[in-house]
Chains A and B, each alone.
Chain A
Amino acid sequence: MDNRQTIFNSRYLPYLLLAPQLIITAIFFIWPAFSALIQSVMMEDPFGLESVYVGMENFKILFADSEYLDALGVTGIFSLLVCFFSLTLSLLFALLADRIIKGAGIYKTLLIWPYAVAPAVAGVLWLFLFNPTVGIFAYFLQWLGYDWNHHLNGGQALLLVVVAGVWKQISYNFLFFLAGLQAIPRSLIEAAAIDGAGAVRRFWTIILPLLSPTTFFLVVINIVYAFFDTFGIIHQVTEGGPDGATNILVYKVFHDGFLGLDLGSSAVQSVILMIIVGFLTVVQFRYVEREVHY
């Protein structure tokens, strides 16, 4: 066996080559995370003129706050709904688009389009459509005899942000599912068809298992999306209201810290959020990934 290992002449070269990535990680992840940790055990005035070490008190105050516990619940429901519907709908669209022969390009473009819309703009769009006073959909619903007022009805508000969040994410998922579908060898599907497997059976026994790496990747991405990126939509459409019905954790971090200027509490919340997302990722990679066939 000839030696294929590359030998670096300098001891420092590998470190130098790694440096850019490490520096970026340190500046944009480790440093802020560390500051959040420090901030979370301090109580500080907005101007940073004075801060007091308070130990775990910020945590205690937070967990005694029913608003925060509600936000935890809302985040769970919201993320589940957004992930489930954005994944299933986009898979459905991808399956349909995969079968189309004529005008496939147009369908694909139209389905990918929403991804180019910034979350805040998407929020404004949906807000106008469903504005209880002047929104066209709200008007239509009222005409049907349904009283639409998401400023007051928590269920309607949650529905609205879930729909907006799903609409925004479908394009991304669609793109990956479509690529995944096109990577599945036709011969496998044709062989199954010759053996008498119907479309539904082919989907469950061949397509879905072969898509599992894509699906797993998208589940991880979608959970992160629902946890963090839906922020712009919530900020525009409901601001966490009414009565906290759409107040998800990341929005509360921003709201309490940057609008409410309560830095201690905001830091505690981001530390907890960090733990939750870390935990979810570990679960996904340790347990869910076992079911994935590459």
Chain B
Amino acid sequence: MIQKRYFFIVAMFVWATVLPISAQATEDIQWWHAMGGKLGEKVNELASGFNSSQNQYRVVPVYKGNYTETMTAGIAAFRSRRPPHILQVFEVGTATMMAARRAIRPISEVMAQAGEPFDSSRYIASISGYYTSMDGEMLSLPFNSSTPVLYYNKKAFKKAGLDPEKPPKTWQQVEDYSKKLLQAGYECGFSTAWISWIHLENMSAWHNRAFGTKANGFDGFDTRLLINGELGVKHLSKLVEWQNKKIFVYGGRRNLGNAKFNSEVCPMYTESSAGYAGFKAAADFDFGISELPYWSDVVDTPQNTIIGGASLWVMAGHKSSEYRGVAKFMNYLSSPAIQADWHQSTGYLPITKDAYELTKQSGYYKKNPDMEVALKQMTRVAPSKNSRGLRFGNMVRIRDIIYNELEGVLSGERSAKKGLDAIVKNGNRLLRKFERVSKTRSR
């Protein structure tokens, strides 16, 4: 037994030392990502598709855990001078990555130096804008982008005497519909995933209200939060009122509450458009997707929603030949056929206009009109300075503060106004901290 084990270990060593030599013909590109389960399989498929399309480079996808874990792993690897070539970073980490200009290589620069064709106007503006610097340089490649939509249970709608083809458009209607659903015996009207992203961040953009000063942080690090305004207080107070009547139920952080929709407890549910695949697999009832509701007494027509998800960052500290491989792979990922397939199989948005057109022409949206809802909602109007996205440093911790305060408000500990004031106060403190460390760097 022991001998066998020794043999195995020795074999591993030999393999590990010999392999780089035998594989010298192709250069390895490390791609650290956070896509588990079905999405992880899809990521592997993308990599192997690229690998078999040429023989100079080999993209090696490595699953590093959830978004935060992946980002932390990438940063730790950078600190020990062994970063991956490509790192997937979720949208709230964007400002942190942008501020670390010496740790990253802007995607537009990588493309230009590798001589790969790159035209940033090919990308859908409301998506790529999130990852573009103040002076118009595209810094990372949007990969998996989504936006919040309303999912509704058609079976429940029928049971409550509601028209399953007429989902609620406004929050007032959500309230009315919920009452009918409660009367029909349902435990709750609606619930939500990602409460901070959907009910604070997106609500601001959707109603064209500022989440923070300086165009939500796009115009500089000296930004302050503004979410304790009229809209924020109104919406949150309503959620509290609804929660007392069971019209709304809080299902927990992130998307822990998804089971409330799957198991037919709450017939309406606001969640990312990328939740589609999961619901499709888990729900044994017909459901529809419609635009995120809005307050018709606040705006006549809503603005656009903002994205969530992640983008791919190119890390500094590698050989220029390897960056050529990275550039080739980024171009492969952006090609219309690949993007259209990614969009259709995952529910994430296509990142280029060509991929959107291709999907349209293939007649996909005719068969699956629900899949176009998110895109229309994102691209219906040109983004305003309130709806381009959010760019705040320390956003991961600001989200924690938001979760804490919202939970405090929803459990009746404090009023909506008080909770939002606390978010602004504590959030601003974190923004100042971030500004300080980032300022020293640019000096």
B12 within 8 A of A: no
- Contact A47:B407 (CB < 8 A) given known A133-B257, A152-B250, A259-B72: no
Cβ–Cβ < 8 Å partners of B438 in chain A: 45
A61→B433 CA distance, assembly (Å): 10
Q: Bits for B198-232, please: 1 = Cβ < 8 Å to A, else 0.
A: 00000000000000000000000000000000000
Taking a contact as CB atoms closer than 8 A, the residue among A43, A133, A241 that contacts B265 in the complex is: A133
A46 at the interface (CB under 8 A from B): yes
Pick the interface stretch among A48-56, A219-227, A278-286.
A48-56
* Contact present for A262 and B397 (CB under 8 Å): yes
B39 at the interface (CB under 8 A from A): no
Contact between B259 and A131 (Cβ–Cβ < 8 Å)? yes
* Residues on B with beta carbons closer than 8 Å to the beta carbon of A244: 404
Q: Is the CB of A151 within 8 A of B250?
A: yes
B319-335 vs A: 1/0 string, CB under 8 Å?
00000000000000000
| Interchain CA distance A261-B394 in the complex, whole Å | 8
0/1 per residue, A130-173, Cβ < 8 Å to B?
Answer: 01111000000000000001011110000000000000000000
A268–B207 CA distance with the chains assembled, in angstroms: 40
**Interface residues of B, dominant DSSP:** helix
Known: A45-B99, A45-B100, A47-B75. A152 touches B441 (CB 8 A): no
Per-residue CB contact flags for chain A residues 48-75 toward chain B (1 = under 8 Å, else 0) read: 1111100000000100010100000000
Task: Check if B408 sits within 8 Å of A49, measured CB to CB.
Answer: no
Q: Is B279 an interface residue (CB 8 A)?
A: no
Contact A133–B263 (Cβ < 8 Å)? yes
Q: Is A242 in the interface zone, CB < 8 Å from B?
A: yes
On whether the beta carbons of B75 and A46 are closer than 8 Å, the reply is yes
Partner pick for B400 among A51, A133, A151, A260, CB 8 A cutoff: A260
**What's the least CB distance linking B316 to chain A, in Å?**
10
Contacts of B257 in A (CB 8 A): 133, 151
Q: Are B411 and A152 in touch, CB under 8 angstroms? A: yes
In the assembled complex, the CB of A93 is this many whole angstroms from the nearest CB of chain B, namely 34
A133: chain B residues at CB < 8 Å are 251, 257, 259-260, 263, 265
Q: Which residue in chain B gives the minimum CB-CB distance to A258?
A: B72
Q: Does A243 contact B (CB under 8 A)?
A: yes
A229 interfacial by beta-carbon distance below 8 Å: no
Whether A151 pairs with B100 at a CB distance below 8 angstroms is: no
B424 to chain A, nearest CB (A): 14
Partner of B437, one of A44, A131, A243, A255: A44
Neighbouring A residues of B149 by C-beta, 8 Å? none
| Closest A residue by C-beta to B250 | A152
Within 8 A of A (CB), among B58-99: 68, 71-72, 75, 78-79, 96, 99
Nearest-neighbor residue (CB-CB) of B266 within chain A:
A133
Complex CA gap A244/B407 in Å reads 9
Taking the nearest CB of chain A, how far is it from the CB of B263, in angstroms? 6
| A49 vs B75: C-alpha distance when bound (angstroms) | 11
CB proximity of A11 to chain B, nearest CB, Å: 39
Q: In the complex, which residues 368-390 of chain B have their Cβ closer than 8 Å to any Cβ of chain A?
A: none
Binding site of A, secondary structure by majority: helix, strand, loop or mixed? loop
A256 to B79, CA, bound (A): 18
B260 touches A49 (CB 8 A): no
CB within 8 Å of A: which of B233-257? 249-253, 256-257
Whether A43 and B263, one on each chain, are in contact in the complex, defined by CB atoms closer than 8 angstroms, is no
Say yes or no for B410: interface residue by CB 8 A criterion.
yes
- Answer whether residue B277 sits at the interface, using C-beta atoms and an 8 A cutoff: no
- Tell me if A98 is interfacial: C-beta within 8 Å of chain B: no
Known A133-B263, A151-B250, A244-B404; contact A50-B440, beta-carbon cutoff 8 A: yes
Tell me the chain B residues, 397-438 only, with Cβ under 8 Å from chain A: 397, 400-401, 403-405, 407-408, 410-411, 413, 426, 429-430, 433, 436-438
Taking CB atoms, residues of chain A closer than 8 Å to B394 are 260-262
Q: Which residue of chain B lies nearest to A70 when distances are taken between CB atoms in the complex?
A: B404
Question: Is A151 in contact with B75, judged by CB distance below 8 angstroms?
Answer: no
Q: Which residues of A contact B404 (CB under 8 A)?
A: 67, 241-244
Cα distance, A240 to B276, chains bound together (Å): 29
Interface residues of A (CB under 8 A from B): 43-52, 61, 65, 67, 131-134, 149, 151-154, 239, 241-244, 255-256, 258-262
Q: A133-B257, A133-B263, A242-B411 are in contact. List 14 more A-B contacts (CB 8 A).
A: A43-B433, A43-B437, A44-B437, A47-B75, A47-B79, A50-B441, A52-B436, A134-B263, A151-B252, A152-B411, A153-B411, A154-B411, A243-B404, A243-B405
7 A-B pairs (CB sep. < 8 Å): A45-B441, A51-B437, A131-B259, A133-B251, A152-B410, A243-B411, A259-B72
List the 9 closest pairs (A to B, CB-CB), nearest first.
A151-B252, A242-B407, A260-B397, A243-B408, A243-B407, A133-B259, A47-B100, A45-B437, A47-B103
